[in-house]
Amino acid sequence: MKMWSGRFRRPLDPAFEKWQRSFDFDCRLLECELEASAAHARALRQAGVLSAEELESVLHGLEQIGEHAADSAEFIDDSEAEDVHHFVEKQLVALIGDAGFKLHSGRSRNEQIAADLRLYVRAGCDEISEAISNCISVFLDRAEQAGQAPMPAYTHMQRAEPVLVAHWLLAYIEMFFRDRDRLADCRRRGNLCPLGSAAVAGSTLPLNRELMAGELGFDSQTANSIDATSDRDFVLEFVNALSLLALHLSRWAEEMLLFSSQEYSFLQLPEAYSTGSSAMPQKMNGDLLELTRAKAGRVIGDATALMITTKGLPLAYNKDLQETQEPLFHATETAVLLLPLVTGWMSAVEFNFERMQKAAATGHMNAFAAATYLTRKGVPFRIAHEQVGKAVRLAFDNQCELQDLALEQLRDIDNHFNQDFYDFVKLENVLAIHDVSGGTAPVQVREALSTARKKLGSVQEESHAHA
Ligand code: ARG
């Protein structure tokens, strides 16, 4: 039996009937639906609509539905159910009889789907936050293991200045902390209970909204029934946060691919996360990285689809909103599967510190430090820049590094150059003089690592408080 068949004289066109259903995908919301229905049932009891026995039997029925679904995939293979709400009602009536029909008193699927989606997004925030934490933890391990190993940092994809490998990895850790923070923010704003909003104007039964919100772990209740049944901001915010996460992962993947090519050879692709070529026997390809790079496109597509689907939609509920589910599920499932793989890849990759060190020591990357040397001797920076530029040109002509030029050659350019120049532009010193917070000097990086560790500990504690 449909949930709305009374006013219809004719059956639906079978193709249309099948096409408008959502159970194929909203079956993912079954757990949320059962939880929210139990809260509604308790409120119905308080409002005097269900007797104590009826409440018992409804709660027991809902529990059984959850158990059957967990036990067998066939149970939810239901070709009649229109959506998850219809499915639960149908199964409940099959289990407990007509009392099951009472559950829909004073509510509407419009508030139910809003509640289910809020629970789903909240669970997604928690699960993905935890997966990001695990990822940060492995990035931190790798950064700590890198010790004082240096590598080139690039701007415009040209060698710019040497940095510590740990400093480079910490850059990704910062992005992931922001991703986590965005999810926490999204969780906080979205954690409100729409139950009691009914179809659009609010329930016609005196339901205790506070009770329902409390039972479902919401911080409070939504304030307006029209907004509550038509709002999907929390879905959009969540998927937008996921698209930024996916974007960060795609930048990471691209750098790893680049650095794994023979031209760089800064790292060795882990075999467990790579594939071969059916044609070229020598090949090993970084498929995990390439797929990660591509997934970002699809998740950004999900966020875009959500924006465009809801744009210009009049209040309140419209069936268009059903189309917001699949992008949400796709983006969530992508992130949930992707993060542990990235984490696994990161713990397995081997860095070629020797190659990175060699690259860090060449390519005139100490030129900025050389200009600083002159600045410290009192030469105005613009002049110092010009003079070092000339020295670099000379080094280019001689196919050598700045420190290979003789002191007389340097003094011909500027007489502030002295013997101490040679120590000043050594790699260790170049690294050490970037001694500001957030800079790559080893003392600063050590500090940054310990700050990141502590921060990870405290955000993990916070999320355990939610669990
Ligand atoms: N399956 C619907 C959705 O996902 C549930 C709400 C249906 N409400 C309605 N009035 N037809 O949006």
Residue 6: per-residue pLDDT = 85
Q: Residue 334's domain is classified under what CATH number?
A: 1.20.200.10
Distance (Å, whole) CA 229 – CA 185 = 21
Q: Does 136 fall in a domain?
A: yes
Q: What is the pLDDT of residue 464?
A: 79
Write down the pLDDT at residue 465.
80
- The domain total for the chain is 3
pLDDT tens digits for range 370-404: 999 999 999 999 999 999 999 999 999 999 999 99
Q: Is 217 helix (H, G, I), strand (E, B) or coil?
A: coil
Would the CB of 22 count as within 6 Å of ligand 1? yes
- Tell me if 395 is assigned to some domain: yes
Given 88, 105, 122, the domain boundary residue is 105
Domain that holds residue 62: 5-105
150, part of any domain: yes
Per-residue pLDDT at 463: 82
- Give the Cα separation of 196 and 221 in Å (integer): 9
Task: Single out the residue in 74, 105, 136 at which a domain terminates.
Answer: 105
Q: What distance in Å separates the CA atoms of residue 104 and residue 36, rounded to the nearest whole number?
A: 12
* CA 230 – ligand 1 centroid, Å: 11
Could you tell me the mean pLDDT of each successive run of 10 residues in the chain, 467 residues long? 86 94 97 98 98 98 98 93 97 96 97 98 98 98 98 97 98 98 98 98 98 98 98 98 98 98 97 92 94 98 98 98 98 98 98 98 95 97 97 97 97 97 97 98 98 96 81
Q: 109 C-alpha vs ligand 1 centroid, how far in Å?
A: 6
Q: Tell me phi and psi for residue 123, to 5 degrees.
A: -65, -40
- Domain check: are 394 and 332 in the same one? no
Q: Are residues 338 and 408 in the same domain?
A: no
pLDDT at residue number 108: 98
E-strand stretches of 117-213? 150-155, 158-164, 192-193
**Token digits for 396?**
């280019």
- Domain identity same for 101 and 125: no
Final residue of a domain: which of 105, 131, 158? 105
Within a domain: 77: yes
Residues 223 and 343 in one domain: yes
- State residue 431's pLDDT score: 98
pLDDT of the residue at 2: 83
pLDDT at 171: 98
Q: Point out the catalytic residue in the list 51, 72, 220, 277.
A: 277
- Specify the CATH number for the domain of residue 58: 1.10.275.10
If asked whether residues 420 and 343 sit together in one domain, one would say: no
* Cβ of 83 less than 6 Å from ligand 1: yes
Q: Is residue 442 part of a domain?
A: no
Same domain flag for 255 and 309: yes
Q: Do both 140 and 22 map to the same domain? A: no
Note the residue count of the chain: 467
Whether residue 418 lies inside any domain: the answer is yes
Locate tokens 């018992």: which residue?
Answer: 56
| pLDDT given at position 20 | 95
Q: How far is CA 235 from the centre of its chain?
A: 14
Same domain, 219 and 97: no
